[in-house]
Amino acid sequence: MDERIERIHTAADYVREQIGGATPLVGIVLGSGLGKLADMIEDPIVIPYKTVPGFPVSTAVGHKGNYIFGKLGGKQVLAMQGRFHYYEGYPMDLVTISIRVMKLLGVQYLFVSNAAGGTNPDFKVGDLMIIKDHINLLPNPLIGPNMDEFGPRFPDMTCAYDQNLIAKAEEVADSMGIKLQKGVYFGSTGPTYETPAEVRFFTLVGADAVGMSTVPEVIVARHCGITVFGMSCITNISNKDTVAKVLNDGDDVVMQANAAADRMSEIFKQIIASL
C-alpha cells in the first residue's frame, strides 16, 4: 500500500477508536487565534495531535494542536484546534493529512477559518470575510501519484466554496446584524509577511485577503468530495507602501483574531445547526 495512504488509515483508525466509532458530519479547521470555537463544543473529547500515529505537530502561534470531537449546533463535529502549515517544513501530504482522516471518519462538510491580511481597501481590522474563491501560490497538495481511493486525478475547482453554504452564512449574519465581507483568498507559503510590492501584485490579480494556509486543505477536501465553507478574519491590513510605520506582528494577529472569534463561532454554529 502507498505509505501515504497507510499513514492516513492508521491515523483514522486511532481517532475513530478515541471517539467511540462515531461519525462526525462536520470537520472544522480553526486558524490562528480562532480556537475559541472549540469551547462551544459540547461533551468534548480532546485528542492531542502528538498522540495520533503519523501526525505532525502544530508549531504555529495560536495553534493548540488538538482534535476536539463533540456536538455543535446539535451535530457531531470534529474540530482541528490548530492546523499544519507548509512553512513549518512539512510536506503537503502531512499538511493535509487531517482532511483525509476526516474523510475516512465520514465527514461530509468542512468549515475552514484563518487569520488573514486584508488587501482590499474597503476592509478593516476585525472584518469577517466569506471566502468565495482562492488563488494558490502554494505547492498543490495533489502533486504526485494520485490517491485514487480519495478522488480523481484532475478534480474540478470551479465551485470550491459551496454556494449554498455561502448564502446560508449571509442569511445567518444578517439575522445577527453582522456585516460580512466576501472575497478572494490568496494563499502564499510564508513564513514572511508580504512585501508591499507583493501586496500590490496580489491586489492587482484579484486578491482581497492574503494568508499562509487554508488552500491546500480546501483542494484536498474537494478532491475527496467534501463540501467546503471558508471564512477569514481580517487581522491586519497588508502594507502596500514601503513605510515602517505599521509593521506586521504575529502576536497582534492572534489578538485581533481572538476579538473576532465569538462572532465567527456563532455564525459557524448556526450554519452547522441548519445542515
Predicted pLDDT at 239: 78
Predicted pLDDT at 37: 87
Distance of CA 51 to the CA centre of its chain: 22
Distance of CA 180 to the CA centre of its chain: 18
Q: Coil, strand or helix: which one is 203?
A: helix
Query: Rounded to an integer, what distance in angstroms lies between the CA atom of residue 10 and that of residue 104?
Result: 11
Cell of 203: 491586489
CB 185 within 8 A of CB 210: yes
pLDDT in tens, the chain (275 residues): 799 999 999 999 999 999 999 999 999 999 866 777 888 999 999 999 999 999 997 776 555 789 999 999 999 999 999 899 999 999 999 999 999 999 999 999 999 999 999 999 999 888 999 999 999 999 999 999 999 999 999 999 999 999 999 999 999 999 999 999 999 999 999 999 899 999 999 999 999 999 999 999 999 999 999 999 999 999 888 778 776 655 555 566 666 667 778 899 999 999 999 99
Query: Rounded to an integer, what distance in angstroms lies between the CA atom of residue 262 and that of residue 260?
Result: 6
Name the residue with cell 470551479: 158
End-to-end CA distance of the chain: 35
Instruction: Note the pTM of the prediction, 2 decimals.
Output: 0.94
Q: What is the four-CA torsion angle of 162, 59, 202, 161, rounded to 10 degrees?
A: 0
Phi, psi of 140 (to 5 degrees): -70, 125
Query: What pLDDT digit, counting tens, does each position of 178-224 carry?
Result: 999 999 999 999 999 899 999 999 999 999 999 999 999 999 999 99
Name the residue with cell 441548519: 274
Predicted pLDDT at 46: 96
If you count DSSP H runs as helices and E runs as strands, how many of each does the chain have, helices first? 7, 9
Helix (H) or strand (E) holding 229: strand 227-237
Predicted pLDDT at 238: 78
CB 63 within 8 A of CB 81: yes
